[in-house]
Structure 1
Amino acid sequence: MFGDLMGMMGKLKEAQQKIEATKKQLDHVLIDEQSNDGLLKVTLTANRTIKSIEVDASLLGDKDQLEDYLVLVINKAITRATQINEAELAAVAKEGMPNLPGMDQFR
């Protein structure tokens, strides 16, 4: 039994290392999102760090419209990044989990 426990602990440590490596890789996965008319573009990582914002000059004259565009497009980009982030981390975590009794319901 003790050997099984040590094996499980090793697998958990390995799974944690894979999760950390995946988190670092997600810093390099870029998500591009833009407004329907293409006047505002946002790029962020799958870890939800904004990398760039491009604003068409026509939006610069209307502060309220620009703010609305920013909120809308950034929220869409964050939603996509979160979906990618969660899917990738869940896949790595599931793959690396040892077979623990009673945990089959979570697989």
Structure 2
Amino acid sequence: MFGDLSGMMDKLNNAKQKVEETKKRLDTVLIDADAGNGVVKVTVTANREIRSISIADAILVDKEELEDYLIIALNKAIQKANAINEAELAAAAKDGLPNIPGMDMFK
């Protein structure tokens, strides 16, 4: 009924391995975002880990403005990271999954 079950299991294990390798690689993909025309800059990985935050001295006098710029820059970076992360992981999973009729989960 399901054909070569052993072969399917090998393909599933291969998909899992590809996803894990992709996750590790995404730790090295850096995404930059800024707010306030570069007053605040952040760098995150595609796995949504903050790597650095840079703040211009001029903004240090206004706490509320600094907080706003941090939120804006971090949200921009996280949105970009999410898009890259989801696309890369879906591609890795799709490449390794066996072809089961009616189970096309990654269209």
Q: Which runs of 5+ in 2 are unaligned?
A: none
Cα displacement (A) at 1:106? 4.4
> After the TM superposition, which of the residue ranges 86-95 and 1-10 deviates more from structure 2?
1-10
Change (3 A) 1:2 1:37: closer
**Which residue of structure 2 aligns with residue 40 of structure 1?**
40
Q: Which runs of 4+ in 1 moved over 6 A?
A: none
Q: Quick one: which amino acid aligns to residue 85 of structure 2?
A: N
Do the aligned partners of residues 105 and 31 (structure 1) sit closer, same or farther apart at CA in structure 2, a change above 3 Å counting?
Answer: closer
Percent of residue pairs bearing the same amino acid type: 61
Measured on the aligned residues, the alpha-carbon RMSD in Å equals 1.5
Distance 2:27 2:48 in 1: 8
Name stretches of at least 5 consecutive residues in structure 1 with no aligned partner: none
Query: What is the aligned residue count?
Result: 107
Match of 2:6 in 1: 6
Residues 95/74 of structure 1: CA separation in 2 closer, same or farther (3 Å cut):
same
- What one-letter code is carried by the residue in structure 2 that aligns with 1:15? A
